[in-house]
Amino acid sequence: MPRTPFLILFLLVLLASVLPTQAQVADRPNVLFIAIDDLNHWLGHLGRNPQAKTPNIDRLAGMGVSFTSAYCAVPACEPSRLALMGGRRPWTTGAYMNGDRWKTFQKPGEGLAAQFLKADYYVAGAGKIYHGIGDHLSAEWTEYMDPKGLSANGPGVTKFDGYFEPHDHDLKDEDLTDWHSADYCIERLGKKHDKPFFLACGLYKPHLAFVAPRKYYKDFPLEDIQLPPHLENDLDDIPAAGRKMNNKDHETMIKNGSWKLAIQSYLATCAYTDMNVGRLLDALETGPNRENTIIVLWSDHGWSLGEKEHWRKFALWEEPTRTALIWAAPGVTPKGERCDRPVDLMSIYPTLCDLAGLPKPDHLDGKSILPLLKDPKAEWSEPAITTHGYRNHALRLDHWRLIQYRDGSQELYDHREDPYEYENLAKDSKHAETLAELEALLPKNNAKHQKGGAK
């Protein structure tokens, strides 16, 4: 027999051994991937702010495991999402800040969505998964919703409406892009697919502007709004590098008398987002894919609303770094459990690979938290690390938070006694041993900041 048929037969056998069979593909779980922008841990089931009303996110928490100490990779949208979706931490890539163009740091085929596409998944997305609404690498997705003609904030809304300025807009739910992003995903959740799916829904709110349709404000009367716990002169024991991260919004809030207004608007905008999460959950629960779909909900970072005289993100304290993270994986996660182990969002990429039976790429910096999904009280020794700028890191391990800045100055907090980080213990000799143990866990090699994008 000529050599060519033998070669063809060999290649066919080899290909069959590498590609999954149709049955194997059909058995793989679906993924509903819900990303939320600027949502902190003001969630009803967490109790951090008793004014928060998030019944649908709380419903999801009742379906699986909610992490009470989850932290972002970076307290800024663009580098946080690049790190999570690309699998590399900022000290590996050199992408630390908004404006570090994420597409110059991630090669097509390396991202999380690409791993599912390679495994013969149907991979679709809508809204804000990377830095801009609709922004993505087309080679990594089967399809992605075009947001052209839609508005992230609604007609006539400007950035600081509901924040420094009163909200005086009459909006409908469908005036915001998030409604349409959810619609896009709801349509796909309602269908039976030939392949397993990875479906990503990126919700833009509660990102500024803090504006939602008026009906979402009825549960938050301005006269009943409570300020978050805060301490006057809280920055007195903060090193200069930390104070430099503090913005001037607090001065404007006090001058304008708009602190309660901003909190009211944030809570209302979170309620709008919670409504869209509920729509997604309803579509999954009433559709044909309920029994075999993993849900993971996360937010790209936290948000400060006056704690430590700070607003927005862009700092390394608890409020701007702590985020929402909820997993519901059929047959894996217990229902209605909480996990208090500190984890960071770099865990999402490898954990999804584990749950879906996909190979984990060699470039991943994060660790899978599959053991904690199975048993939320399991032992866990990995620190959660957040980075903001070159060689500025916050580390959470158990109840301790260490912040170390580029100049070597530090902050140390014991969250058992001080959950709002009022007292910096870094210079207290009683904690020298703890400080040294935490310092040893900080990254040793830090890539230089690639301003504006990799060269």
Task: Name the residues annotated as catalytic.
Answer: 77, 131
- Asked if 288 and 229 count as a contact pair (C-beta separation under 8 A), the reply is no
- Asked if 349 and 364 count as a contact pair (C-beta separation under 8 A), the reply is yes
Dihedral pair phi/psi, residue 280, rounded to 5°: -65, -45
228: nearest Cα among 256, 264, 204: 264
Cα–Cα distance between 236 and 239 in angstroms, integer? 8
C-alpha dihedral over 74, 80, 86, 90, to 10 degrees? Answer: -30
- Asked if 36 and 269 count as a contact pair (C-beta separation under 8 A), the reply is no
Taking residue 68's Cβ as centre, other Cβ atoms within 10 Å add up to 18
- Asked if 388 and 76 count as a contact pair (C-beta separation under 8 A), the reply is yes
Paired with 404 in beta bridges are: 393, 410
- Burial (Cβ within 10 Å: 0-12, 13-18, ≥19) of residue 92: middle
Q: Are strands 322-323 and 70-71 parallel, antiparallel or unpaired?
A: antiparallel
- Asked if 157 and 259 count as a contact pair (C-beta separation under 8 A), the reply is no
List CB contacts of 192: < 8 A, sequence separation 6 or more.
Answer: 288, 289
- List Cα–Cα distances, 280 to 186, 202, 434, in angstroms: 6, 12, 44
List CB contacts of 292: < 8 A, sequence separation 6 or more.
Answer: 29, 30, 196, 330
Cα–Cα distance between 377 and 392 in angstroms, integer? 30
